[in-house]
Amino acid sequence: MTKALKLTKNTEQGVREFVKFLLEKGNVKGVFTLKKINQKGSVAYSLITTSDELNDAVPFYPLMPTNAGTLLSRFTLNGSTTEPIVAIVKPCELRAFIELIKREQGSLENIYIISSTCGGVYPLKIVAEETIEKNLSQYWDAVKKGEMNENLRPACTGCTEFTPYTADITVDLIGHNNLDKECVLILNTKKGEELAKEMKGEFLERELDKETLKKFYDKRDAAKKKLFNEINTKMKGLDGLIEIFGRCIGCHGCSTVCPICYCKLCEFDSSDSEYKPSTYESELKRRGGLKVPPGTIYYHLGRLAHMGISCVGCGSCEDVCPVDIPLSIIFKKVGESIQQIFEYIPGKNIEEKIPLLTYEEEEFTEIEE
Amino acid sequence: MKKDETFMPKILAFLCNWCSYAGADLAGTSRSQYPSSILPIRVMCSSRVDPLLILRAFLNGADGVLVAGCHPGDCHYQEGNYYTRRRFMMLKKVIEGCGLESDRLRLSWVSASEGSKYARVATEFTKKIKELGENSAKNEIFL
What are the boundaries of each domain within chain A? 3-220, 234-367
Mean pLDDT within A295-324:
95
| Residue A16 at interface with chain B, using a CB cutoff of 8 Å | no
Mean pLDDT within A272-294:
89
**Is the pLDDT confidence value at B3 over 60?**
no
Cross-chain Cβ contact A286/B97 below 8 Å: no
Q: Are A122 and A151 in contact (CB under 8 A)?
A: yes
Question: Tens of pLDDT along B18-69?
Answer: 999 999 999 999 999 999 999 999 999 999 999 999 999 999 999 999 999 9
The pLDDT, as a whole number, for residue A365 is 86
Cα-based torsion angle of the residue sequence A326, A268, B58, B66 in order, rounded to the nearest 10 degrees? -120
**Is the pLDDT confidence value at B2 over 60?**
no
**Chain B residues touching residue A364 (CB < 8 angstroms):** 85-86, 89
Share above pLDDT 90 across residues of chain A, in percent, rounded to a whole number: 80
Q: Which residue of B has its CA nearest to A286?
A: B139
Q: Are A208 and A186 in contact (CB under 8 A)?
A: yes
The domain B11-139 having CATH identifier 3.30.1490: the answer here is: no
Mean pLDDT within A264-289:
90
| Residue A356 at interface with chain B, using a CB cutoff of 8 Å | yes
The pLDDT, as a whole number, for residue A80 is 84
Distances (CA, A) of A9 to A2, A182, A309: 21, 5, 41
Domain borders along chain B are: 11-139
Q: Looking at this predicted complex, what is its ipTM?
A: 0.93
Question: Tens of pLDDT along B65-90?
Answer: 999 999 999 999 999 999 999 999 99
pTM: 0.94
Banded model confidence at residue A369, pLDDT cuts 50, 70, 90: low
Q: At what angle do helices A210-234 and A237-245 cross, to 10 degrees?
A: 110
Cross-chain Cβ contact B90/A367 below 8 Å: no
Banded model confidence at residue A79, pLDDT cuts 50, 70, 90: confident
The pLDDT, as a whole number, for residue A40 is 87
DSSP code for A148: P
Comparing CB atoms, the residue among B73, B91, B137 nearest residue A361 is: B73
Cross-chain Cβ contact B61/A286 below 8 Å: yes
| Residue A345 at interface with chain B, using a CB cutoff of 8 Å | no
Q: Rounded to an integer, what distance in angstroms lies between the CA atom of residue A80 and that of residue A106?
A: 8
**Is the pLDDT confidence value at B1 over 60?**
no
**Is the pLDDT confidence value at A232 over 60?**
yes
Question: Please, which residues have CB within 8 angstroms of residue A367's CB and are 6 or more apart in sequence?
Answer: B85, B88, B89, B92, B107
User: Nearest-5° angle of CA A296, CA A298, CA A302?
Assistant: 125
Question: Tens of pLDDT along A335-349?
Answer: 999 999 999 999 999
Question: Tens of pLDDT along B91-139?
Answer: 999 999 999 999 999 999 999 999 999 999 999 999 999 999 999 888 8
